[in-house]
Chains A and B, each alone.
Chain A
Amino acid sequence: QVQLVESGGGVVQPGRSLRLTCAASGLAFSSYGMHWVRQAPGKGLEWVAVIWSDGSNKYFADSVKGRFTISRDNSKNQVYLQMNSLRVEDTALYYCVSAAGSFDNWGQGTLVTVSS
């Protein structure tokens, strides 16, 4: 079955950086767009970023544009979220999601806490 496993979360001070990794298995990874979706504690779902299956297109939420970048390595079945200039409001559980239109498969998430 499809497995998406996120890693790289942790506690970081405001202004610092963090890199999240999502390792995928059980799917034709290079055929899927990959998204990051986050959920602040007790809140709803917020789309963060997407990278096309071949890496040709990338889009970001306005709240992270200019601070976050997304990349993928189809040879390793991995997608990455580089988060720079982190803010307190970036504190959330970050989910990796595979999508063919709808968001078909979700990882269990990795928690990012931005605090001084």
Chain B
Amino acid sequence: ETVMTQSPTTLSVSPGERVTLSCRASQSVSSSLAWYQQRVGQAPRLLIYDASTRATGAPARFSGSGSGTEFTLTISSLQSEDFAVYYCQQYNNWPPWTFGQGTKVEIK
């Protein structure tokens, strides 16, 4: 099983700041990596797929990078609606499809 590890667990940020979230895979997942945003009380929403491609409707301030085992999600200027939990997920080595434990982005 490919274990996905996200860091940090929690990030306290002020609106307008640049944010970088990390995700590491226990073995290579090539570029088969997605990022999801989950706001409180809502279902997860696809933000980034194939490591760096923005999903339909995802704002341009979100960008993804990386390949192999190291990945990053960057939010260029944090908006109020971006306070949420972010999950990475690999879909290269299955089954199972595996998620990271999540990074909570909270208001500083």
Contact = CB atoms under 8 A, between A and B. Distances in A.
A112 interface: no
A103 B45 CA distance: 9
Interface string B85-108: 001010100111111111000000
A108 B36 CA distance: 14
Interface stretch (A7-15, A24-32, A39-47): A39-47
Given A44-B101, A45-B87, A59-B94, A107 B50 contact: no
Q: Report, as a range, how many residues of chain A touch the other chain.
A: 20 to 34
Contact of B99 (A45, A50, A59): A45
A102 interface: yes
A88 interface: no
Interface in B53-108: 55, 87, 89, 91, 94-102
Nearest to B57: A1
A107 B99 CA distance: 18
Given A44-B101, A44-B102, A45-B87, A102 B46 contact: yes
A11 B87 CA distance: 28
A34 B47 CA distance: 19
B23 interface: no
Chain B residues touching A, majority SS: loop
Nearest to A35: B97
Nearest to B101: A44
A16 to B, nearest CB: 25
Nearest to B44: A106
B34 interface: yes
A95 interface: yes
**CB-CB nearest 8 A-B residue pairs:** A102-B49, A102-B34, A59-B95, A106-B43, A47-B97, A45-B99, A44-B102, A44-B101
Interface of B: 32, 34, 36, 42-46, 49-50, 55, 87, 89, 91, 94-102
